[in-house]
Structure 1
Amino acid sequence: MADSFIKESIITCPECAHQETEKMPIDTCQWFYECKSCGAVIKPKLGDCCVFCSYGSVACPSIQLKKEN
């Protein structure tokens, strides 16, 4: 069951719309992400646990696993 989640997400910068495929941390939420194109430091939207939940193509592993239960 622990491997039944998507491990990569396409994160989209809200400043310049650059997209990058990133491997998500499995055991923690990622609070900040620096865009590889414009250098903007991205933070989660209010109410989201991490940048992948706010700007990724899929939610982070912890949210994915909660939805399975």
Structure 2
Amino acid sequence: MDLKNEIMTLSVLTCPNCGNQKEEEMPTDACQHFYTCKNCNFFLKPKVGDCCVFCSYGTIPCPPKQIEKKCC
């Protein structure tokens, strides 16, 4: 069984500032540390203890977390 085939790469990010939701493609080989909301231009950073914006504000954790690799 190939783990790469089981990794989900789409996640819906929810902006904590305006509540806008946007489905985004996650990088499979790294964590995404920053994201700018497409609606209000709010600059998202990971919450303390999270490795990336997808783990903090997404519906699906980042691929490195999904396969339980140490995140960036």
TM-score range, shorter chain: over 0.9
**% identity of equivalent residues:** 51
Report how many residues are paired: 67
SS of residue paired to 1:66: coil
TM-score by length of 1: 0.93
C-alpha distance in structure 1 between counterparts of 2:49 and 2:33, whole Å: 12
Match of 2:43 in 1: 41
Gaps of at least 5 residues in structure 1 are none
SS of residue paired to 1:29: coil
Match of 2:24 in 1: 22
TM-score by length of 2: 0.89
4+ residue segments displaced more than 6 Å = none
Letter in structure 2 aligned against 1:50: C
Q: Give the C-alpha shift of residue 2 in structure 1.
A: 1.6
Gaps of at least 5 residues in structure 2 are none
C-alpha distance in structure 1 between counterparts of 2:5 and 2:46, whole Å: 25
